[in-house]
Every structure is written in structure tokens, then in C-alpha cells.
Amino acid sequence: RKEVEQDPGPFNVPEGATVAFNCTYSNSASQSFFWYRQDCRKEPKLLMSVYSSGNEDGRFTAQLNRASQYISLLIRDSKLSDSATYLCVVTKEYYKLSFGAGTTVTVRA
Amino acid sequence: EAGVAQSPRYKIIEKRQSVAFWCNPISGHATLYWYQQILGQGPKLLIQFQNNGVVDDSQLPKDRFSAERLKGVDSTLKIQPAKLEDSAVYLCASSLDGTTYNEQFFGPGTRLTVL
């Protein structure tokens, strides 16, 4: 079983729509969780950390469910600029990051 | 502030040839990482340096891959000899330190094609 699994998508949504997707992780001892964004042929960049109580950053909301070992990301009022691959990231021991394969989101006009 | 620099940006070689990649991290960042990202997959950590010491190289194919970080700043990753399956983007990242979570900043990557 992979350490981090994501639905690859693609999620194809119109501008203004809400899109949400999950990621599951296998190591129950995982400590920290993040969403990174990777634009086509670009490097990954940190989008947001995921806290146990859930957190928002503008139009983005992240949730963590430790009991079921999944993380979610919700994007409200999608913009064309939100088109990207979203990488779910989980820390292993000593803060080593383990990346999922990514979920591709395409926002159409 | 300058970001992580990598060169070359693209490299095409034939199998069994050698290749080297260079990375210059953000100034002051003690921790440097090399990742391999195969098309359609997430980045996979190859090696992590803390200053000029290796913290983790458990996923580095040591029979063909080597890396060094002399003087705790720049780093080079070498593949010798290359195989077809080494075709990937090689990403370098740096962070303030690797003992607690600090955001990792990635360079633009080197896209390697092995023919």
C-alpha cells in the first residue's frame, strides 16, 4: 500500500464552482500534513498546512480526519488560476515529507 | 530573496552515459534535499543533507547515484551510468533546518531524458 494515495482526477469544473478531493495516508503515526500546489512543468509550492481542527486560507479549506486517516481540500469559487495539480504531503519520522501523486484540477471558463 | 537555483534545466543523454546536476540552495538554509519526480508521480526523496552531512539516503540507488554537498552549500547529484528509468525531473529543495518542520522551497528542476 502506498504511503499517500490520491484520486488523480482530473476534476474538470467551471469557474465559480466548488471542488473537493481527499487523500488517504497509511501511517497512523504521521504527524504533519500539507497541501502543495504544482503547476504544469513547474516546481511544487506550499499551499497550506493542515491542522487537526481544520483551517481556511481564503477560498481554500483543509480538513484532517485522523481516525479515518484522510485529508481533504476544498476550493470554493474556483478561478482559472486554480488549475494545477494538488499534492497531498504527509510527514514521516524526522519531518521527512512523503508526497502523493497529486490530484489534477482544471477550471474552465 | 533569491530562490533555489538548479542547472541545467534540461538534459538529454543516452543510456549508460553519465550526468551531473547542480543545486544552489537559498542562502542560510542548512537542509538540502534531492527529489526524483517521474511523470505522473509525486516527488520521491533521494537524499537529504543537513549542512554537509547526509541525514537520509535510504532511497538513493547507490550503485549508480551519488551526491555531495561540499562546504554545506552547493550540491551536485550524479548518475553513472544512466538507465532509461532514470528519465524524470530532479528537484532540489532547501529548508532552514530539517529537525523541525520548515517549509521546503523547491528549485525549478532538471528535466532528464535518457534515450
Residue type, B56: D
Per-residue pLDDT reduced to its tens digit, A26-79: 988 888 899 999 999 999 999 999 988 889 999 999 999 999 999 999 999 999
Candidate from A11-25, A85-99, B9-23 with smallest mean pLDDT: A85-99
- CA B46/CA B55 separation, integer angstroms: 11
- CA B115/CA B101 separation, integer angstroms: 38
β-bridge pairing A19-25 and A33-38: unpaired
Lookup: cell for A18: 466548488
Q: Does A108 touch chain B (CB under 8 A)?
A: no
Per-residue pLDDT reduced to its tens digit, B1-59: 689 999 999 999 999 999 999 999 999 999 999 999 999 999 999 999 998 899 999 99
Instruction: Please state the rounded mean pLDDT for residues A82-98.
Output: 87
Of B55, B101, B107, the CB nearest to A32: B101
Of B45, B100, B108, the CB nearest to A43: B108
- List b or e across B5-17, with b for residues whose CB sees 16 or more CB atoms inside 10 angstroms: ebeeeebebeeee
Q: Count Cβ atoms within 10 A of the Cβ of residue A13 and give its class: 0-12 exposed, 13-18 middle, 19 or more buried.
A: middle
Which single residue is written with the C-alpha cell 518542520? B101
Per-residue pLDDT reduced to its tens digit, B74-102: 999 999 999 999 999 999 999 998 766 77
Mutant choice from A25, A95, A98 vs B, greatest count of B C-beta within 10 A: A95
pLDDT at A94: 61
Question: Is residue B72 very low, low, confident or very high in pLDDT (cuts 50, 70, 90)?
Answer: confident
Q: Which residues contact A82 (CB under 8 A, 6 or more apart)?
A: A75, A105, A107
Q: How far apart are the first and last CA of chain A?
A: 37
pLDDT at B71: 86
Chain A residues with CB-CB distance to B45 below 8 A: 96-98
pLDDT at A39: 97
The chain B residues in contact with chain A (CB within 8 A) are 40-45, 48, 55-56, 91, 98-101, 103-104, 106-109
**Distance of alpha carbon A19 from the chain centroid:** 11
Residue among A3, A20, A24 at smallest CA distance from A93: A3
CB B22 within 8 A of CB B110: no
| B36 to chain A: closest CA residue | A99
- Quote the mean pLDDT of chain A: 93
Question: Is residue A2 very low, low, confident or very high in pLDDT (cuts 50, 70, 90)?
Answer: confident
Percent of chain A with pLDDT over 90: 79
